[in-house]
Each structure stands twice: as structure tokens, then as C-alpha cells.
């Protein structure tokens, strides 16, 4: 019989890609879903895998349901992907974010420990823990300096994972993943906001995309590549933490230029007035407008990851590069805008 995996956050971007990967490897996949008033399994449906997943109800805020679910399933592997994952929201909901992204991790680890530590555990850590970066590129030895309640909460989850490994000998790993995107990315994140905006402009359904800090730099990879790293980490004899990144960084400004180039529009920037604009070179029409409301109270200005250790020790490397990623996202959104409502 195949292995059993429990994935929290299965309705999110990574949950969908990871489920697909594990099903293809013959796993029995259990997906933890929190109770909501409407169905939000659309990503799993889009990949055509919803029917193959055993959906269980579980919220990270409540230890009793975590215990019941883990006792019932007895998973070989637990992937903790559930989180309040939007950095901007974490400034307005810092307590809730800590409750899920920090204490939620302790709840799962504590259940694993009291059950004898049999399930392997993967924690979805993040490059946002580097925040105000102390060194560049960032690797496993770089000091953390989180810049958001989200980053601070995730750092707690990260250290708890390390601590349960060292104190209780649990096979627990923390994957420090840099930003990863895809056509299944939530529309509030900047890459998808841009790809969808470009598609809507191309189809005459939108005039302008409003963005915040255009100069922020991120190391953007493809989510489909990154879930492979999660799985690889749990297949190693000894648990260890790894940086997962492409080793390339690009600004939001560059991402936007690249996305417009997919629909053959060249952007030129005009910062003569108070408001910076990205204009179509040919027509002069404003297509991007900077709106300071999207700026964060504290920003992570620059992220660039060094995934050499993952390459050498677990044989992981990204397959999709920056240009291919942008093109994939814009082309998928062009189809969606053409064919019908975009639900996520």
C-alpha cells in the first residue's frame, strides 16, 4: 500500500500542486480544509484531482480537531501548508496571524509528539523571515530579521520545528521557500494581480493596474517546482532545513514590464507628477498607476536565495525560469478572461 499524507492548506496554491505530485507518486492523500460557508476547492478541481483526495475538516486554531484527524489517519507524512499567508493582512491581523502561523505549528507538533513522533513533518517556512536582509544572497546560515507579523510568526514556527527535531527526535524539516508563483496563485499577490490585470487590459475589461512598491525585489520561482522540494526533504534519512530558490532576483517593476511584453506592449515609466505611471510606449496610455495605499508599514526590499545546499544534498533544482513563469501566468489568465469568470 502507498504512503498516507496529510496536507494542511490543501485548498491553497501549494496544496493543489503538492496533492497532484503525491497522487502521481501513489500516495493516499488527505486534505485538511477549514470550515467555510462556500466551497473553495476550485484549485483542486482545476487540476482534476478533487475526486482523488480525502477531504477532512480541520482548523489550525483548535488542537482537539488536529488530534482527532491525526489519530484517525495516522499519516506517514504531514505537510503543514496552512497559514494566513498574505503579508499585508498580517499588519492588520497580527494576533490572528500568530495564532495560525505560529501557535498552529506548535499544536501539530505537540500532537505528533504525544502520538509517539511517528509522522514525518514538513513546515512551510519562508524567505520573509529574512526580511531586512543581513546578507545577500541568503542561505541556511543567514541571520533572520523578519519585517512583518507574518514573518515573525513564521520564524516561531521555524524554530519550533527545529526544536521538536532536536528535543524529541521527530523527523521534522523546515523548507525556507522563496516566493513561488503559478496560474493558481491567489489574486491578491503581486504577480497574479499583474498577470490577471494584463489579461483584463488586453481583453478590454480593465483600464489600469494599481500597484504599490515597484522597486521591491523578489526571487520568484514556479510553485510546481517548489512542491517537489517539499517532498524530497521528507524522503531524506535525516531531517534538515533547506533554502529553496532560483538564485535570480527581479523587481516588481520588471515583472510588470515582462508581463506586458507577453501581449506585445512596451512600458515606459513617467514619474514627473506625484504619481508614477507605467505608460504604453506606443499609445501613451497609462496602464500602471502607483498607489501608495499598497505600501507596507515595513517592507522586505530585496530577496535572493542561494539553494546550493538543496542542489547538492537532495538533488533539487528549479526547472521553470522567470520568463517562462511570467508567460505561463499571463497566457493562462488570457484564457480565463476569455472563457469566463475568474473565481480565484
**Chain contacts with ligand GDD (rule: CB under 6 A):** 85, 87-88, 126-128, 178-179, 188-190, 193, 211-213, 216, 218, 252, 294, 296, 299-300, 303
Which C-beta is closer to ligand NAP: that of 60 or that of 111? 60
- In angstroms, what is the C-alpha Rg of the chain? 20
The answer to whether residue 96 is catalytic is no
Q: Any catalytic annotation for residue 188?
A: no
177 forms beta bridges with 126, 244
Binding segment (CB under 6 A) for ligand NAP, from list 58-66, 87-95, 208-216, 295-303: 58-66
Q: Minimum Å distance from CB 329 to ligand GDD?
A: 12
Residue 188 touches which member of ligand GDD, ligand NAP, none, C-beta under 5-8 Å by kind = ligand GDD
Alpha carbons 7 and 12: distance in angstroms, whole number:
10
Stretch that binds ligand NAP, among 34-42, 136-144, 246-254, 293-301 (CB under 6 A): 34-42
Between 86 and 168, CB nearer to ligand GDD:
86
Per partner kind, with CB cut-offs from 5 to 8 A, the member of ligand GDD, ligand NAP, none near residue 190 is: ligand GDD
Shortest distance, position 189 Cβ to ligand GDD, whole Å = 4
Residue 139, binding choice from ligand GDD, ligand NAP, none, Cβ under 5 to 8 Å by partner class: none
Contact code string over 106-145 relative to ligand NAP, x by CB under 6 A: ------------------x-x-------------------
Kindly tell me which of 4 and 258 has the beta carbon lying closer to ligand GDD.
Answer: 258
Are the CB atoms for 125 and 175 separated by under 8 Å?
yes
Q: What is the DSSP string of 238-281?
A: S---EEE--S--EEHHHHHHHHHHHTT--EEEE-SSSS-EEEET
Task: Please check whether residue 256 is in contact with residue 192, taking contact to mean a CB–CB distance below 8 angstroms.
Answer: no
- List the 172-177 sheet strands across, edge first: 54-57, 28-33, 4-8, 77-80, 120-126, 172-177, 242-244
Binding of ligand NAP at residue 49 (CB under 6 A)? no
Give the residue carrying C-alpha cell 520568484. 220
Tell me which DSSP letter residue 7 carries. E
- Given a contact cutoff of 8 angstroms between Cβ atoms, the answer to whether 334 and 166 are in contact is no
Pick what 197 binds: ligand NAP, ligand GDD, none; C-beta below 5 to 8 Å, kind-dependent: none
Q: Report if residue 191 touches ligand NAP, rule: CB under 6 A.
A: no
Helix (H, G, I), strand (E, B) or coil at 72: helix
Of the residues 17, 27, 30, 150, which is catalytic?
150
Does residue 186 interact with ligand NAP by CB under 6 A?
Answer: yes
Set 8, 11, 126, 142: catalytic member? 126
Q: Whose grid coordinates read 503538492?
A: 18
Does the annotation count 128 as an active-site position? yes
For residue 15, state whether it binds ligand NAP (rule: CB under 6 A): yes
Give one DSSP letter per residue of 126-151, joined into a string: EGGGT-S-SSSSB-TTSPP---SHHH
State the Cα–Cα distance between residues 51 and 45, nearest whole angstrom.
8
3-state secondary structure of 98: helix
56: enclosing H helix or E strand: strand 54-57
- What does the alpha-carbon distance between residue 264 and residue 122 come to, in Å, rounded to a whole number? 41
Size of interface with ligand NAP, in residues (CB under 6 A): 25
Residue among 28, 128, 181, 200 flagged as catalytic:
128
**Cell numbers at residue 342, please?**
475568474
CB atoms under 10 Å from CB of 259, counted, come to 24
Nearest alpha carbon to residue 157 among 121, 185, 133: 121
Return the one option of ligand GDD, ligand NAP, none that residue 224 interacts with (CB less than 5 to 8 A, by type).
none
Among 5, 6, 7, 14, interactor with ligand NAP by CB under 6 A:
14
Q: Which residues of this protein are in contact with ligand NAP, per CB under 6 A?
A: 8-9, 11-15, 34, 36, 40, 59-61, 81-85, 100, 124, 126, 177, 179-180, 186
Task: List residues with catalytic annotation.
Answer: 126, 128, 150
Amino acid at each position: 500500500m502507498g504512503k498516507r499524507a496529510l496536507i494542511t492548506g490543501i485548498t491553497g496554491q501549494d496544496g493543489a500542486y503538492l496533492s497532484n505530485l503525491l497522487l502521481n507518486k501513489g500516495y493516499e492523500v488527505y486534505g485538511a480544509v477549514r470550515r467555510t460557508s462556500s466551497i473553495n476547492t476550485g484549485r483542486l478541481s482545476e487540476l482534476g484531482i478533487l475526486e482523488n483526495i480525502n477531504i477532512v475538516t480541520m482548523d489550525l486554531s483548535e488542537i482537539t480537531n488536529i488530534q482527532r484527524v491525526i489519530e484517525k489517519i495516522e499519516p506517514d507524512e504531514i505537510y503543514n501548508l496552512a497559514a494566513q499567508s498574505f503579508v499585508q493582512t498580517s499588519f492588520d491581523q497580527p494576533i490572528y496571524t500568530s495564532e495560525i502561523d505560529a501557535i498552529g505549528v506548535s499544536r501539530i507538533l505537540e500532537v505528533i509528539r504525544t502520538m509517539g513522533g511517528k509522522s514525518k513533518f514538513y513546515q512551510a517556512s519562508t524567505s520573509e523571515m529574512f526580511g531586512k536582509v543581513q546578507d545577500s544572497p541568503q542561505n541556511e546560515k543567514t541571520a533572520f530579521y523578519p519585517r512583518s507579523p507574518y514573518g515573525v510568526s513564521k520564524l516561531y514556527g521555524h524554530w519550533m520545528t527545529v526544536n521538536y527535531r532536536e528535543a524529541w527526535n521527530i523527523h521534522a524539516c523546515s523548507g525556507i521557500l522563496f516566493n513561488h508563483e503559478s496560474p493558481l496563485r491567489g489574486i491578491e499577490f503581486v504577480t497574479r494581480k499583474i498577470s490577471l490585470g494584463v489579461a483584463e487590459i488586453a481583453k478590454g475589461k480593465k483600464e489600469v493596474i494599481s500597484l504599490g512598491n515597484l522597486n521591491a525585489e523578489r526571487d520568484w520561482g514556479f510553485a510546481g517546482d517548489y512542491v517537489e522540494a517539499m517532498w524530497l526533504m521528507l524522503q531524506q534519512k535525516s531531517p534538515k532545513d533547506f533554502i529553496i530558490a532560483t538564485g535570480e532576483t527581479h523587481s516588481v517593476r520588471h515583472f510588470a514590464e515582462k508581463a506586458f511584453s507577453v501581449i506585445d506592449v512596451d512600458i515606459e515609466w513617467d514619474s514627473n507628477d506625484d504619481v508614477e505611471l507605467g505608460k504604453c510606449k506606443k499609445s501613451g496610455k497609462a496602464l500602471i498607476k502607483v498607489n501608495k495605499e499598497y505600501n507596507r508599514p515595513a517592507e522586505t526590499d530585496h530577496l535572493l536565495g542561494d539553494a546550493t545546499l538543496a542542489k547538492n544534498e537532495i538533488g533539487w533544482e528549479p526547472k521553470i525560469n522567470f520568463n517562462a513563469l511570467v508567460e505561463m501566468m499571463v497566457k493562462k489568465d488570457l484564457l480565463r478572461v476569455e472563457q469566463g469568470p475568474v473565481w480565484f
